[in-house]
Structure 1
Amino acid sequence: MTITDTPTPPVSARRRWAGLAVLSASVLVVVMDMTVLNVALPAISEDLRPGSIELLWMVDAYALVLSGLLVTVSALGDRWGRKRMLMAGFAVFGVASMAVLAAGSPLEVIAVRALLGVGGAMIMPSTLSMIRNLFTDPGERAKALGVWAAMAAVGAALGPIVAGFLLEHFSWHAAFLVNVPVMVIAIAAGLFLLPESRNPNPGRWDVLGTVLSMAGMVALLYAVKNIGKYGLTSPGALLAAMLAAATLGWFVVRCLRRPDPLLEVRLFRSAPFTAGVITALTTSIAMAAVLLLLAQWMQLVQGYAPLETGVRLLPAALAAIVASPLAPGLAARIGARAVLAGGLALTGLGFLLLYLAPSPLGYGPVAGALVLIGAGNGALAIASAAIMSGTPAAKAGSAAALEETSYELGGALGVAVLGSVAAAVYRQELEYSGPAAGVVQESLGGALDAARELGAGELAEQARQAFTDSLVLTGGAGAALVLAGALAVWFLTPRDLDVLSEH
């Protein structure tokens, strides 16, 4: 995707930072929506009684749709205007959030989540590419990305708190409505504060590339989900995996051969760019699964109310809020490579603490793990800076699409792969073959419902212990993944990489 932005007049410092506030508000809401679901999922499950597949789709529909559309929507934004795409994304996200009021079945909730994914796909790449064009000075840009990453942490902190408060006073539908006023304010402010930018010479639209990218991403995630659930011998999963390999391989070859590709995959020739993407991907894979499991553990095992759960998840977000703005200054002192790899290592140690915590697992080790994980996530600000500093302004749209695809694909893969590991451990540890065995082994919520109906307190305790064991082992798997990512990033990132100046 060749991007030659239309000339725009210089943007004053006041307007740049005010524009950043609008862009940061968008990521805040998108992250809030993801954390809201973690807290609201038990209430949704109790009300709608979804099956296991429906439950997985409630979690994955958002990331699946968003990931599948990121490349296409980013390219459309370069043609139509990034500001227009962002404003339209705000509108779609707000309408989808209101549509949850009419959702009374699992399929309707899945549809709402999918529509939210459409809005998210319109919002996320626009924010990063606009930051790249708003802040032309690398040092200022790194600070702006630090603020942007910190606002994502604020969203992670506010989501569980707001969702918990609303769930204690209203139905689960209300947890999604918090997006609406923020979207209205973002539209009003963005119309006045954000400059427009687009590609005046985008070349021919690659229709085949569009189809290949969307079909390939959907097939890939379908394959991962089903291999995790049914194993490598699942015919549907194997067929989807082959389709994904064929379509995505064809798409990459097509992009490499075209002078105006839909996605500039040549960016991966830059080691700093690749290191930044690996940082985003590995962090997202581990975080998505473990935080989802922790939210359920706190409510269904520890017995915390939704609001209490939100408060107890705060340490990770608060640590990230502190670490993200400090990351650029730390990178100036000790180097970007040390911050990138060190942040991942710190996150990995957090997951390792969860794995090594004494049994029975209590909140103390969990809180310590959350602090380490959140502090390590401060490196994501430098990951974004590495991706953007290693990318010409003309390729900002592709860089943004690839970074956001890493985050969203990582989240979906985390839930699918590590979530499937957790489910397999849960079933193995439970070893129950009595009445309603299928329901009991399907999920902890189902096991607790069955135990209440059967008057089997021992079964409920066994299910809680099995779920806790699955959480601990998943933490160990997350630690191994993130620490391996830290090693890869250390060797990939040039020792003298400076994200605070142009190369």
Structure 2
Amino acid sequence: MAVTGVSARRRWAGLAVLSASVLLVVMDMTVLNVALPAISEDLRPTSVELLWMVDAYSLVLSGLLVTASALGDRWGRKRMLLTGFGVFGLASTAVLLADSAADVIAVRALLGVGGAMIMPSTLSMIRNLFTDPGERARALGVWSAMAAMGAALGPILAGFLLEHFPWQSAFLVNVPVMVAAVAAGLFLLPESRNPKPGRWDALGTVLSMAGMTALLYAVKTFGKDGLTSPAALAAAVVAVVALSWFVVRCARRPDPLLEIKLFRSPPFSAGVVTALSTSIAMAAVLLLLAQWMQLVQGYAPLETGVRLLPAALAALVASPLAPVLAERIGARVVLAGGLVVTGLGFLVLWLAPQPLGYWPVAGALALIGAGNGALAIASAVIMAGSPPEKSGSAAAIEETSYEVGAALGVAVLGSVAAAVYRGGLDYAGPGAQAARESLGGALDVAGELGAQGARLVEMARAAFTDSLALTSGAGAALILVGAVAVWLLTPRDLDLRAVEH
């Protein structure tokens, strides 16, 4: 059943709970990057364990997105969301018991379970809380702004906590917020579910979990170990077989786990392309920018987080404004135009004069954040293109686009950056292999060389800056291609106030 007759005050109060939850979950995705050095110093993980600390969250999250959203449609979206809050809070508390790398990996995996319950549930509940398409677009603008703020505040909060408290504090900060979210959600959020859920597809559940987990693992492993990696090739085969079988199964069933037929709608596909192309470019370039600020510019983690704020502040302004602009100039212009503005931000990084300084970067971040306001319209189009009882499918598709896009960005564009860095590092002295692996490795080698390492530091930082610039150019090209695709897919007269499945 869809939610009907909910007062405006309760709708917007419910949105506050949903936005706060997505703010925290997105923050948590970025916290580990800042906390990893402290965790490594305390627990001394192996290189493999370190990779699993990073990857466990996204692998579990991506594997469970379809299943969790389908369960929410049947069991109740409010129940699924509150259960996700509980799991997330429990996992965050469990870090107190973590005294080994394996324990941290388990905590990250459990956080992924909670995240898979929370993220699609927030979107599907907004779809059912706000039945008016125009009002829903504004609500999704607020939701998108909170997600952008979470991505920016995560490193800042983690940097602050790690300067004053042990690394466990970066996880424990989740607990009181999740307790408050459960309490508020019990009173403010109405329940909704699919009134005719049909039979549960057990085989489809296995196929979706195996296929998505294998896909993300393959993409990540290809990026780390190259295209000839046996583990990545095996995972890719599993992903292709399982997901192909899953798609065929969903297309033939009257009650599929994932409503594949939603892609028949060109506006829906345009929204997915927007989310996918943006996340591919953003994940890689922002990761490189964070390293550039710390290892080239010498900023501390907290200062790095603050200097990344222009993107979040611009998105905070642009996301709520995007639906208003869409009403005035059309959703098509805002969707494609937002991608163009984002692409211009990446072009600034590519074309900025060398040596690259912070102020061109700040301008680029502001453009990228402003362009990301289009993601609010993408969410509105995606959610409006699904019937209320299938809103979980639409939410799962959107969240999967972000997860797969981020993995592809780090793997593909990250590999481009690594190749450019290696090609630009003309060094054949002691420790050359380690220096060519990464900028951090080059700085370590230079430290061992003493005064003779100054030249290596200069070359490595210049090579890394070049890799950032060229990767930004590749990201700009990708986003501009996405803008053309979105322009062609989106009807000229698309009106969010009238769009409804």
Same-fold status (TM-score > 0.5): yes
Structure 1 position 12 matched with structure 2 position 7 = yes
- Partners of 1:109 and 1:345 lie apart in 2 by 40
* Equivalent residue number for residue 206 of structure 1: 201
Contact 2:223–2:410 under 8 Å retained in 1: no
Stretch moving more, 151-160 or 39-48: 39-48
Q: What amino acid does structure 1 have at the position aligned with 2:496?
A: V
- Partners of 2:406 and 2:176 lie apart in 1 by 26
- Partners of 1:443 and 1:297 lie apart in 2 by 12
* Equivalent residue number for residue 458 of structure 1: 455
Aligned match for 1:243, one of 226, 238, 244: 238
Q: How many residues of Structure 1 are paired with residues of Structure 2 in the alignment?
A: 498
Call closer, same or farther: CA 1:97–1:440 in 2, change over 3 Å: farther
* Equivalent residue number for residue 479 of structure 1: 476
Q: CA deviation at 1:157?
A: 2.9
Helix, strand or coil: the match of 1:499?
A: coil
1:263-274 equivalent positions in 2, closer than 5 A:
263-274=258-269
Contact 1:39–1:310 under 8 Å retained in 2: no
1:123-138 equivalent positions in 2, closer than 5 A:
123-138=118-133
- Partners of 1:376 and 1:44 lie apart in 2 by 35
Q: CA deviation at 1:93?
A: 1.2
Structure 1 position 294 matched with structure 2 position 265 = no
- Partners of 1:39 and 1:89 lie apart in 2 by 24
- Partners of 2:364 and 2:54 lie apart in 1 by 24
Contact 1:39–1:295 under 8 Å retained in 2: no
Structure 1 position 350 matched with structure 2 position 369 = no
1:391-430 equivalent positions in 2, closer than 5 A:
391-430=386-425
- CA deviation vs aligned residue, 1:293-340 (integer Å, no higher than 9, x gap): 211211121111111111100000000000000001100111000000
- Partners of 1:435 and 1:106 lie apart in 2 by 32
Contact 2:268–2:385 under 8 Å retained in 1: yes
Aligned match for 2:66, one of 64, 71, 75: 71
- Partners of 1:395 and 1:9 lie apart in 2 by 16
- Partners of 1:51 and 1:419 lie apart in 2 by 22
Q: CA deviation at 1:76?
A: 1.2
Stretch moving more, 164-173 or 112-121: 164-173
- Partners of 2:430 and 2:392 lie apart in 1 by 55
Aligned match for 2:275, one of 274, 280, 285: 280
- Partners of 1:141 and 1:428 lie apart in 2 by 49
* Equivalent residue number for residue 79 of structure 2: 84
- Partners of 1:482 and 1:161 lie apart in 2 by 28
Helix, strand or coil: the match of 1:171?
A: coil
Call closer, same or farther: CA 1:449–1:109 in 2, change over 3 Å: farther
- Partners of 1:428 and 1:54 lie apart in 2 by 29
Structure 1 unmatched ranges of 5 or more: none
Q: What amino acid does structure 2 have at the position aligned with 1:188?
A: A
Stretch moving more, 345-354 or 160-169: 160-169
- Partners of 2:106 and 2:432 lie apart in 1 by 30
* Equivalent residue number for residue 362 of structure 1: 357
1:378-389 equivalent positions in 2, closer than 5 A:
378-389=373-384
Q: CA deviation at 1:452?
A: 2.1
CA RMSD in angstroms comes to 2.0
Q: What amino acid does structure 2 have at the position aligned with 1:128?
A: L
Contact 1:64–1:412 under 8 Å retained in 2: no
- Partners of 1:169 and 1:214 lie apart in 2 by 39
Call closer, same or farther: CA 1:423–1:47 in 2, change over 3 Å: farther
Stretch moving more, 127-136 or 285-294: 285-294
* Equivalent residue number for residue 468 of structure 1: 465
Contact 1:149–1:381 under 8 Å retained in 2: yes
- Partners of 1:478 and 1:45 lie apart in 2 by 31
Q: CA deviation at 1:190?
A: 0.3
* Equivalent residue number for residue 494 of structure 1: 491
Q: What amino acid does structure 1 have at the position aligned with 2:457?
A: A
Call closer, same or farther: CA 1:204–1:221 in 2, change over 3 Å: same
- Partners of 1:261 and 1:424 lie apart in 2 by 43
TM-score (structure 2 length as normaliser): 0.94
- Partners of 2:184 and 2:439 lie apart in 1 by 44
* Equivalent residue number for residue 194 of structure 1: 189
Q: CA deviation at 1:222?
A: 2.1
Q: What amino acid does structure 2 have at the position aligned with 1:283?
A: T
Q: CA deviation at 1:432?
A: 4.2
Q: CA deviation at 1:375?
A: 0.0
Call closer, same or farther: CA 1:389–1:10 in 2, change over 3 Å: same
Structure 1 position 168 matched with structure 2 position 163 = yes
Which aligned segments of 4 or more residues in structure 1 are displaced greater than 6 angstroms? none
Call closer, same or farther: CA 1:263–1:15 in 2, change over 3 Å: same
Helix, strand or coil: the match of 1:188?
A: helix
Structure 2 unmatched ranges of 5 or more: none
- CA deviation vs aligned residue, 1:177-234 (integer Å, no higher than 9, x gap): 2222211111110011101112343222111111111111122122222322333333
Aligned match for 1:228, one of 223, 236, 239: 223
Q: Percent identity?
A: 80
- Partners of 2:297 and 2:39 lie apart in 1 by 19
Helix, strand or coil: the match of 2:71?
A: helix
Contact 2:68–2:116 under 8 Å retained in 1: yes
Call closer, same or farther: CA 1:43–1:418 in 2, change over 3 Å: farther
Q: CA deviation at 1:79?
A: 2.0
- CA deviation vs aligned residue, 1:138-163 (integer Å, no higher than 9, x gap): 11111111111111122123222212
1:440-455 equivalent positions in 2, closer than 5 A:
440-455=435-450
Q: What amino acid does structure 1 have at the position aligned with 2:446?
A: A
Call closer, same or farther: CA 1:464–1:98 in 2, change over 3 Å: farther
